[in-house]
Amino acid sequence: MILVMFGPPGAGKGTQAQLIQKVLGLVQLSTGDMLRAAKNAGTAIGLKAKEAMESGQLVTDEIVVGIIADRISEDDCKNGFILDGFPRTVAQAEALDKMLTEKGLKLSHVIEMEVDDVVIVERVSGRFTCASCNEGYHDSFKPTKVEGTCDECGGTEFIRRPDDNAETVSSRLKAYHEQTAPLLPYYKEQGVLRTVDGMASIDEVSRQINEVLTV
């Protein structure tokens, strides 16, 4: 199964991808995580991506398409994967279709999480992740069970993203509406678009996604 998690920043793509990964064993491929790792490691790709990421703009199609092309050719993607944060432009979607066709593969579902812009700032401003295992949390909506300790791995260090501030979020939202939302009719036409209520609780969104996946 090949899934695309689709929605604005903070919609819950990563949260739901992590849940699907745990249940179905599909690997989660987050271009945001990969770009952040490249940036922190100071690689050539990281240096090229840095400025766009820090200002809430999209990184070039060439860079992200290259990263995904390499990643989906690895062994652990053989049984399927979940794309989280890719594609984000029509050109990326076309490049993805081409890569999949060449491998004799095809998208199973594009899961759109619909969330109002007003909720987005609240979502991203409370977001933090475990520094050891990358499990995602939220100050109000998904706190750790024991304060200061990761539920999954027991880690005690957490990370907050520098781009999760109100100003950068508004640029990211603008990029979503202008460059990413135009993919919705593209996928609707292909018959793979499945929309869930991203405003609902994490458990309810997960229930709606499971319904899509078992049809």
Query: Does position 136 bind Zn ion by CB under 5 A?
Result: no
CB of 142 to ligand ADP, least distance (A): 4
> What are the structure tokens assigned to 96, written together?
């993805």
Is 174 an active-site residue?
Answer: no
Catalytic one among 13, 36, 123, 194?
13
Is residue 12 a contact partner of residue 142, using CB atoms and an 8 Å limit?
Answer: no
Is residue 65 a contact partner of residue 58, using CB atoms and an 8 Å limit?
Answer: no
Is 88 an active-site residue?
Answer: yes
Is 172 an active-site residue?
Answer: yes
96 contacts which partner out of Zn ion, ligand ADP, none, CB within 5 to 8 A by kind?
none
CB of 184 to ligand ADP, least distance (A): 15
Catalytic one among 39, 88, 123, 194?
88
Is 13 an active-site residue?
Answer: yes
Query: Does position 80 bind Zn ion by CB under 5 A?
Result: no
* CA dihedral angle for residue 10, residue 16, residue 21, residue 26, rounded to 10 degrees: -80
Q: Quote the CA–CA distance of 94 and 47 in Å, as a whole number.
A: 26
Catalytic one among 161, 174, 188, 194?
161
Query: Does position 39 bind ligand ADP by CB under 6 A?
Result: no
Rule CB under 6 A: choose which of 10, 96, 112, 150 binds ligand ADP: 10
Is residue 10 a contact partner of residue 169, using CB atoms and an 8 Å limit?
Answer: yes
Rule CB under 5 A: choose which of 130, 169, 175, 209 binds Zn ion: 130
Element (H, E) at 113: strand 109-114
Is 36 an active-site residue?
Answer: no
Question: Is residue 105 classed exposed, middle or buried when 0-12, 13-18 and 19+ CB atoms within 10 A define those classes?
Answer: middle
Which residues bind to Zn ion, rule: CB under 5 A?
130, 132-133, 135, 150, 152-153, 155
